[in-house]
Structure 1
Amino acid sequence: MTWTDVERQLGWLSQEELDTARGRLPILYVEAVPVRVDAAGAVTAVGLLLRASDDGAIQRELVSGRVLYHEKVRDALMRHLEKDLGPMALPRIPASPVPFTVAEYFPTPGATAFHDPRQHAVALAFIVPVAGDCAPQQDALDLAWLSPEEAAHARIQAEMFGGHGVLLRQALAHLGHPI
């Protein structure tokens, strides 16, 4: 085990410690919009996860998760993509990733387009091409690959909560797709 692995293990918080931290300071997250690209680099599909929320609602989500203490943003992206899409997803994350936007989530609804009742969170949002076989992992029920036009449809947006629909529209706009 390397020193970084030891430090990262020390960065895990108990649920009680995490709840206390969430109540006192913003938490850093990464969010990823997984995409498939053709040989010319054009986006052909957008990957959306299907999950059941704590209250039993079925919703579509993006890949998302916390950045751990002493963890590089690139490593956090890789960890969450593999956790949600499987170890064979083969994400192509650049050596120095740059987010397409920053989303600031507030526990107060309406403060921004992004809402998380648990906490104030700041999320760096990335568009990440994946080249391998993807299969939903962890608590994801399904992974759907939609064309950019399908992903922009109001019906899909209505299935996304907390601002993920807004983030998806921003990603599509960043890619040059009409929204």
Structure 2
Amino acid sequence: MSSTGTPDPGNAWLSDVELLELRRRMPILYVEAVPVRVDPLGIVTQVGVLLRASVTGEMTRTLVSGRVLYGETVREALFRHLEKDLGPMAFPQLPASPVPFTVAEYFPMPGISPYTDDRQHAVSLAYVVPITGTCEPRQDALEITWMTPEEATSYIVADEMEGGRATLMRAALAHVGVLP
């Protein structure tokens, strides 16, 4: 980005205006991660849920997520967003295969899928990612709360999640065999 706010043409980032225009014209590719802690047998014992403040100041719970940049592999995007949201000492254990446990389609119109995003039509590749290090949330994540699978899928937590992410978390826990 130059000092005048003009995007660098060699850069993968989009200006706010460019992103807004693209969001109105085509789906955007995202990655999402459900951070987990596992026991020595690989069984999920805890689920990490992020706390964020919305643009209106409302506190919401969410998962790690973000766009895949032009020229970036899915694996690179997943790692970048995990580090961005959880900090550089989180030490995520990326899956050996880039195949997601599900593909979530977010629509600006409710009722098409369980997932909604008022800003856009987005397609998200979703992963369960074990975390072995210490998490220090950064960027717009205020904190990460580690919960048991039962706590993470409770109605209280589901009510704090937006856009169908409670449904996505339940699908993640079902995928790894610990859905309460």
Give the shorter-chain TM-score range. over 0.9
Aligned residues: 173
Q: 1:94 to 1:175 in 2, by over 3 A?
A: closer
Q: Scaled by the length of structure 1, what TM-score is found?
A: 0.93
Q: Which residue of 1 aligns with 2:54?
A: 53
Q: 1:8 to 1:81 in 2, by over 3 A?
A: farther
How far, CA to CA, are the matches of 1:129 and 1:178 in structure 2?
16
How far, CA to CA, are the matches of 1:9 and 1:155 in structure 2?
45
Deviation larger for 105-114 or 94-103? 94-103
Q: Which residue of 2 aligns with 1:71?
A: 72
Q: Which residue of 2 aligns with 1:103?
A: 104
How far, CA to CA, are the matches of 1:116 and 1:135 in structure 2?
27
Residue 94 of structure 1, CA deviation: 2.9
Q: Which residue of 2 aligns with 1:3?
A: none
Tell me if the contact between 1:8 and 1:69 (Cα under 8 Å) persists in the aligned partners. no
Q: Could you list the runs of 4 or more consecutive aligned residues of structure 1 that deviate by over 6 angstroms after TM superposition?
A: none
How far, CA to CA, are the matches of 1:132 and 1:83 in structure 2?
14
C-alpha distance after superposition, 1:21-77 (max 9, x if no partner): 000000000000000011111111000000011111111000000000000000000
Identical aligned residues as a percent: 61
Q: 1:120 to 1:168 in 2, by over 3 A?
A: same
Structure 1: 5+ residue runs without aligned partners?
1-6
TM-align CA RMSD:
1.4
How far, CA to CA, are the matches of 1:67 and 1:77 in structure 2?
8
Structure 2: 5+ residue runs without aligned partners?
1-7
What is the one-letter code of the residue matched to 1:19? L
Q: Scaled by the length of structure 2, what TM-score is found?
A: 0.92
Tell me if the contact between 1:8 and 1:71 (Cα under 8 Å) persists in the aligned partners. no
What is the one-letter code of the residue matched to 1:143? I
What is the one-letter code of the residue matched to 1:55? T
Residue 9 of structure 1, CA deviation: 5.2
Residue 96 of structure 1, CA deviation: 2.8
